[in-house]
Amino acid sequence: MTTVLDEILARTREHVQERKRLFPLDRLQMAAPTPTGHRPFASTLARAGEVNVIAEFKRRSPSRGVIREDVDPVRVAQAYEVGGAAALSVLTDAPFFGGSMTDLREARNATLLPTLRKDFIVDRYQVGESVVLGADAILLIVAALSDAELRSLHAAAVAARLEVLVEVHDRPELLRAIAAGARIVGVNNRDLRTMKVDLATSLSLADAIPDDVVAVAESGIRGPADIARLRDAGFDAFLIGEHLMAQDDPAAALESLLRDAGSRRGRGRVAVKICGITSVGDALMASAAGADAIGLVLWPKSARAVDLATARAIADALPPFVHRVGVFVDPTRAEVERAIDAVGLDVVQLHGDEPVEFCRGLPRRVVKAVRVGDGFRAADALRYEGVAAGILLDTRGDDMPGGTGRTFDWTLARAVRAGTRTLMLAGGLTPENVAGAVAAVSPDAVDVSSGVEAAPGRKDAARVRAFVRAVRETA
């Protein structure tokens, strides 16, 4: 009797042969853009004390049919990152899941999440294809492969510097995965032959997964109670797709799930952005000091402004895990989009009087800065909630949109903190006062410029290191 898996594999092999004929791998490699740096997959999934979710992008599945067809992989990937995902999974199978290679490339480029190519890998050509697409990891399904194929494809992936999630459904498959060298094992609670889902599949195999292998539970996870049972059984990470894709707001759904499952998100690590970077040297110094993001001021009136060519040189020099943030003041949409393309920005930070509507539909995540001063109301900031990916509070200046070097009354931030998912704090922060600011406000990120400078636009390495150290010791 032919199963759904048999049908999928037969179609996959046909399509792979067709792609090999039309796009030989050497030609594909020559035409493809250079992949960005590898993002660690296994170590991210193994973070102790965290609820590590691999959030999945897919439009439909053989078991459920259409989930959501009219979705943008960039928007969903960014929503997952904002919501707290540890990693991203993207379906690239077209006939059965509605995926594409473009989905993977666009989703990965839009975030800093390590990204899994989710497909039915049966040929070494697909391993090379995954490298060209920029994937950090691929999926190998034991039920779809012979032992020889499994070993060969696993070795090819490792040689290509791809990590491998090896999927199993029962104990014999688990033993085959371990024998093939699997360092990440995913237990799929969905039987690919019958499409039935049962969490007991993961629970029954948990104790057989070696301690030094990252254990991932897949499919059928719909709430914090499921995650709690699986964590107690020993699973390190959880792949969740349909449950999140079916929600109107994937970011809110994921964040709620993480919070209810006991994630430390929002109570742990505070991100650090060093703003007003004007040289490659300062950017690399800030990155080496531990900065999570660097800010490139693209407002010509600022003393720290850089042109697009300089911004691009700085962005290109940075490691892949450092966010490139473009800072704008009352730009046109065309100016923002041009800068995104020219520089390769990950985030757009708006520091002017941009209305809520301007924040909608931009091709990158938006952080909206709101100036705090006399007459400030939390509602001034919270009107951007749900539209911008984050709200930044800065000190109101007399004639400048930011960069005043002055603090504001941090107690004014508490009402905003209570009403927003992602809060950034700026305004006169220094190595000497940032610990107090973090304790008072509990922000998700802090943003500093003049407080770590030797002169406008020129950073002081010792002060940058001291700032980052003060934040890390406080958090």
Length of the chain: 475
- Give the β-pairing of 453-455 and 458-459: antiparallel
3-state secondary structure 281-346: HHHHHHHHHCCCEEEEECCCCCCCECCHHHHHHHHHHCCCCCEEEEEECCCCHHHHHHHHHHHHCC
Q: Could you confirm whether 275 is annotated as catalytic? A: yes
Structure tokens, 436: 């107090």
**26 HSE (CA, 13 A, CB side):** 0
Q: Considering the candidates 275, 282, 292, 346, report the single residue annotated as catalytic.
A: 275
| DSSP state, residue 357 | G
Centre a 10 Å sphere on the Cβ of residue 37 and count the other Cβ atoms it contains. Answer: 10
Is-catalytic flag, 394? yes
Of 362, 338, 342, nearest to 350 by C-alpha is: 362
User: Among 194, 137, 196, which Cα is nearest to 167's?
Assistant: 137
Quote the CA–CA distance of 335 and 357 in Å, as a whole number.
16
Q: Considering 93, 103, 226, 394, which one is annotated as catalytic?
A: 394
Tokens of 437: 């600011």
Q: Report the catalytic residues.
A: 275, 394
